[in-house]
Amino acid sequence: MTSLLEHPRGAEPGKPGDRSAFSFETITRLPDAADGKGRGGARYGRTGILHTPHGDIRTPAFVPVATQAAMKAVLPESMRQAGAQCLLSNAFHLFERPGEDVLDAAGGLAKFMNWDGPTFTDSGGFQVLSLGAGFKKTLAMDVTGMKSDDVIAKGKERLAFVDEDGVTFKSPLNGSMHRFSAEISMCIQHKIGADIMFAFDELTTLMNTRSYQEDSVERTFRWAKRCVAEHERLTAERLGKPYQALYGVVQGANYEDLRRHAAEQIASLDFDGVGIGGAIEKRIIGDTCAWICDAMPESRPRHVLGIAAVDDIFACVENGGDTFDCVAPARCGRNGAIFTRDGRYNVKRAEFKFDFGPLEEGCDCYTCTHYSRAYVDHLLRAREFDGFTLATIHNERFFIRLLDDIRASIDGGYFDEFKRETLERFYRNGSKG
């Protein structure tokens, strides 16, 4: 069988990548409803097929995060066995090490990490927030009475500074100074070589003032136009490479008018898809997706960045999300938090010390079919890497299977019943996530 890694679609020697190798087709769409959040009661949820040079992705789909071209403690082969269709890596971290030139020389991200399938890279916009405000991965936060344009987490040093042209930042690895701009981000991501990449954007916190959010949306739009132009230039210049799809990112925090305005701006540009980004309050996460989908062409796939709470996934799928990524399943697993259909629990609780059953009854993942709660508990307490591996495999499989089941429910016409039954069961005992 011919390897897709060696022969991606739409790549011919001496020619620019063929854009037709990337496309999205809708299979089944949710019917509109009286309580639909989109215009005229629209519900934008759908199933589809995302065609990429390195293979197809059936949507909705969960995209596990291989931050540094690797899932922590888990090989790509294990992720394929767990049902992953694609992986997402972090352009900022790969820029820091090993450097984009290494991935380019290796033949691109997928080949570098021996992943025979589609890949995504984010733009580095999240790291602007993380380094600038010091909140790490915390985007959902209580901001009652807190509005400031000089937000900084307690005890943190500001490491990134935004200006009109881009961002200057201090490396968290060695303290050296670097510069990111729309053009630099595009150059880095082209060399990394993922099938899908994102325009460089400014990610704000919910604490920023309304006036700053307005300025940021306009700045992100100006950067988006520069990203499109640079993407076109690099696509024409880098001959023999497969086409890389570029998604624009919609910001605007919690403000409906800003989200709608930003969506119209991004829709006006020649992007291949859209990323729904930024800090969003949980209570309006579905509404936010619908506001954005109101403005988006049906043919553009929609990726929701950084979402992995079970109820949030249902809300986003129902209102138009096609693909989702988040580091939470792996991070939670390494700390002992296990996701199951009956909620989330910590396997390191004393009650599991002599429990020789699987992490979740009925789960088909490698961990659950080979190992016990007692063993995983022991490994995690002993800080053995095998514990990280086994817990991560299960949690990633949970979310991959959840999206697979949601996809089947849309195609089968029973999404509403499946959503109700799944959420009632998962949150019955007050589970987080």
Alpha carbon 54 to chain centroid, angstroms: 18
The string over 299-312, giving b where at least 16 C-beta atoms fall within 10 Å of a residue's C-beta and e elsewhere, is: ebbbbbbbbbbbbb
Q: Is residue 135 part of a domain?
A: yes
Return the pLDDT at 140. Answer: 35
Amino acid, single-letter form, for residue 73:
A
Tokens of 194: 């993922």
Domain boundary among 287, 302, 325: 325
pLDDT of residue 91: 95
Does 34 reside within a domain? no
Q: How high is the pLDDT of residue 133?
A: 46
Q: Are residues 375 and 239 in the same domain?
A: no
Active site residue 32: no
Do both 270 and 209 map to the same domain? Answer: yes
Catalytic choice (104, 122, 294, 312): 122
Q: Are residues 146 and 275 in the same domain?
A: yes
The CATH number of the domain holding residue 188 is: 3.20.20.105
Regarding whether 340 and 317 lie in a shared domain, the answer is no
CA distances (Å), 408 to each of 11, 19, 28, 59, in order?
33, 29, 10, 10
User: How far, in Å, CA of 358 to CA of 243, rounded?
Assistant: 43
For the chain, the maximum distance between any two Cα atoms, rounded to a whole number of angstroms, is 63
**Phi, psi (deg, nearest 5) at residue 146:** -120, 110
Torsion-angle region of 83 (φ positive above 0: left; ψ -120 to 50: alpha; else: beta): left
Same domain assignment for residues 172 and 66 = yes
Q: How far is CA 190 from the centre of its chain?
A: 18
Residues 249 and 340 occupy one common structural domain: no
For residue 323, which of 152, 118, 164, 113 has the smallest C-alpha distance? 118
Q: In 268-417, which ranges are E strands?
A: 273-276, 302-305, 323-326, 337-340, 343-346
Q: Using H for helix, E for strand and C for coil, what is the string for 194-208?
A: CCEEECCCCCCCCCC
> Among 263, 295, 325, which residue terminates a domain?
325
- Residue among 227, 108, 213, 242 at smallest CA distance from 166: 227
Q: Does residue 38 lie within any of the structural domains?
A: no
Both tokens of 330, joined, read 């792996």
Instruction: Tell me: do 269 and 163 sit in the same domain.
Output: yes
> Measured in Å, how far apart are the chain's first and last C-alpha atoms?
41
The reply to whether 214 and 304 lie within a common domain is: yes
pLDDT lower than 70: segments of the chain: 1-6, 126-158
Catalytic residue at 272? Answer: no
- Residue 16 in any domain: the answer is no
Separation of alpha carbons 389 and 81, rounded Å: 13
Q: Are residues 411 and 364 in the same domain?
A: yes
Tokens linked to 374: 């007692």
Kindly state whether residues 264 and 341 are assigned to the same domain: no
pLDDT at residue 168 in the model:
86
Distance CA 150, CA 356 (A): 51
Assess if residue 55 is contained within a domain. no
Determine the pLDDT at residue 370. 98
Tell me the angle at which helices 415-426 and 310-318 cross, rounded to the nearest 10 degrees: 160
The last residue of one of the domains, among 325, 344, 359, is 325
Q: What total of structural domains would you count in the chain?
A: 2
Please tell me the predicted confidence (pLDDT) of residue 267. 98
Cα dihedral 176, 182, 186, 192 sign: positive
Residues 193 and 339 both lie in one domain: no
Q: Are 249 and 258 in contact (CB under 8 A)?
A: no
Catalytic residue among 294, 322, 325, 377: 325
Q: Does residue 216 sit within a domain? A: yes
Give the structural domain span for 189.
60-325
Q: Is 138 helix (H, G, I), strand (E, B) or coil?
A: coil
Which residue stretches of 97-192 are H helix? 100-106, 109-112, 125-133, 182-192
Residue ranges for the binding site for Zn(2+)?
Answer: 363, 365, 368, 394
- 130 assigned to some structural domain: yes
Cβ neighbors of 215 (< 8 A, separation 6 or more) are none
Is residue 188 in some structural domain?
A: yes
CA distance linking residue 431 with residue 433, whole number of Å: 7
**DSSP result, 383-401:** T-HHHHHHHHHHHHHHHHH
Whether residues 336 and 274 fall in one domain: no
Q: What is the pTM of this model?
A: 0.93
Tokens of 331: 């991070």
Q: Which residue has the tokens 């989908």?
A: 293
